[in-house]
């Protein structure tokens, strides 16, 4: 997808809805083998938080494209000793072709992107997880064949995953409902942007009522109640978030054909029950697989790979 060549992907807002749809189509075609891409470039992974899926799916995707990966663990680089981000960015720019960053503040990611000429990809910040949303949207399209008329309901914390999911669903014309405890609603500006994308073709609802959000929905989605960096609050959050657990009772309110998604890692017995994540309606393993296909399409596009097919 030539239009993305050389561009950053710091949030879904870096793409137009048409570009997002085209990227998802490319990812599906690369997954099925209809389209192949070759790109002998170097990806750097600069992760300040733990990761299984993002780290491994980015690495596998890059190797499959014919490229190489360098794991730039901040603890073994000068990043953890306080080298300014803008200096690190300008130096890494001279060695690498693309940089995927997992960090805390979105502003830090933006600083890296400002000082590095190469494409910078958001591999999760406290504010957004756009690569996750690519896989989520890809999975929803695989399950329902279309976006139009699909309702996606998110239960839990109005966090990074919720933000990107809301934006992505609204950009693709789906209805989106977010049910959270009163003090954990998604950022108002993200909600506003999602509403603008939805316009009058779909609905964006933020509520504290989990049952209302579940009624007739096609997709039930949840994430951990305490994100990375919020470990100290984990125990006190459990009773507050309990009414937002995805369990067999909540599932009864949804459409009978509804699917269940979770970005993983899951905390069984907290945001989702073991019976639901292991149940017939769970699509979490396909969703995790799609991280790799979606990011392969993204990497190939921002790197200006040669496509065939």
Smallest distance, Å, CB 263 to ligand CP? 4
Catalytic residue among 64, 132, 245, 287: 132
172 DSSP 8-state letter: T
The interface partner of residue 180, options being ligand NVA, ligand CP, none and the CB cut-off 5 to 8 Å by kind, is none
Q: How far apart are CA 153 and CA 261, in angstroms?
A: 10
The interface partner of residue 223, options being ligand NVA, ligand CP, none and the CB cut-off 5 to 8 Å by kind, is ligand NVA
Give catalytic status of residue 143 as yes or no.
no
Smallest distance, Å, CB 36 to ligand NVA? 29
- A 10 A CB-CB count for 169 gives 31
Per-residue binding string, ligand CP, 232-271, x by CB under 6 A, is -------------------------------xxx------
Long-range CB pairs of 280-284, under 8 A, 24+ apart, other chains included? 281/251, 283/139, 283/143, 283/259, 284/260
- Tell me: does residue 224 bind ligand NVA (CB under 6 A): yes
HSE on the CB side for 212, CA within 13 Å?
9
- Tell me: does residue 223 bind ligand NVA (CB under 6 A): yes
Q: Which is nearer to ligand CP, 66 or 265 (CB)?
A: 265
- Tell me: does residue 227 bind ligand NVA (CB under 6 A): yes
The interface partner of residue 160, options being ligand CP, ligand NVA, none and the CB cut-off 5 to 8 Å by kind, is ligand NVA
Smallest distance, Å, CB 50 to ligand NVA? 8
Catalytic residue among 223, 262, 283, 295: 223
- Tell me: does residue 228 bind ligand NVA (CB under 6 A): yes
The pair of three-digit structure tokens given for residue 115, joined into one six-digit string = 């000082």
- Tell me: does residue 26 bind ligand NVA (CB under 6 A): no
Q: Which is nearer to ligand CP, 132 or 175 (CB)?
A: 132
244 neighbors 271 (Cβ within 8 angstroms): yes
HSE on the CB side for 17, CA within 13 Å?
15
Single residue of 64, 88, 122, 159 touching ligand NVA by CB under 6 A: 159
Q: How far apart are CA 17 and CA 6, in angstroms?
A: 19
Buried b (16+ CB within 10 A) or exposed e, 183-211: ebbbbeebbebbbebbeeebebbbeeebe
Tell how many helices (H) and how many strands (E) occur in the chain. Answer: 12, 11
Give catalytic status of residue 129 as yes or no.
yes
Give catalytic status of residue 223 as yes or no.
yes
Angle at 133 between CA 95 and CA 276, to 5 degrees: 130
The residues annotated with a catalytic role in the active site are 102, 129, 132, 223, 263, 291
Question: For binding to ligand CP (CB under 6 A), which residues are involved?
Answer: 51-54, 124, 132, 263-265
């Amino acid at each position: 997808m030539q239009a993305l060549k050389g561009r950053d992907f710091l949030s879904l807002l870096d793409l137009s809805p048409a570009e997002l749809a085209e990227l998802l189509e490319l990812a599906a075609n690369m997954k099925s083998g209809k389209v192949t891409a070759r790109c002998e470039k170097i990806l750097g992974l600069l992760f300040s938080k733990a990761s299984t899926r993002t780290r491994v799916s980015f690495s596998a995707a890059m190797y499959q494209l014919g490229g190489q990966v360098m794991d730039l663990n901040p603890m073994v680089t000068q990043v953890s000793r306080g080298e300014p981000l803008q200096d690190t960015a300008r130096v890494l720019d001279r060695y690498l072709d693309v940089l995927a960053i997992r960090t805390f503040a979105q502003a830090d990611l933006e600083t890296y992107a400002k000082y590095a000429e190469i494409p910078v990809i958001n591999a999760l910040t406290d504010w957004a997880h756009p690569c996750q949303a690519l896989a989520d949207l890809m999975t929803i399209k695989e399950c329902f064949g279309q976006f139009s008329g699909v309702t996606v309901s998110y239960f839990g914390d109005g966090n990074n995953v919720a933000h990107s999911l809301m934006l992505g669903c609204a950009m693709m014309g789906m209805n989106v409902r977010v049910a959270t405890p009163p003090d954990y609603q998604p950022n108002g500006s993200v909600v506003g942007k999602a509403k603008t994308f939805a316009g009058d073709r779909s609905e964006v609802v933020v509520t504290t009522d989990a049952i209302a959000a579940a009624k007739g929905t096609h997709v039930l989605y949840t994430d951990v109640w305490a994100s990375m960096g919020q470990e100290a609050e984990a125990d006190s959050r459990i009773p507050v978030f309990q009414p937002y657990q995805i369990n067999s009772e909540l599932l009864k309110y949804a459409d009978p054909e509804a699917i269940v998604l979770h970005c993983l890692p899951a905390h069984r017995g907290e945001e989702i029950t073991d019976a639901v994540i292991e149940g017939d309606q769970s699509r979490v393993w396909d969703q995790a697989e799609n991280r790799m296909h979606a990011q392969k399409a993204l990497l190939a596009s921002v790197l200006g790979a040669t496509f065939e097919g």
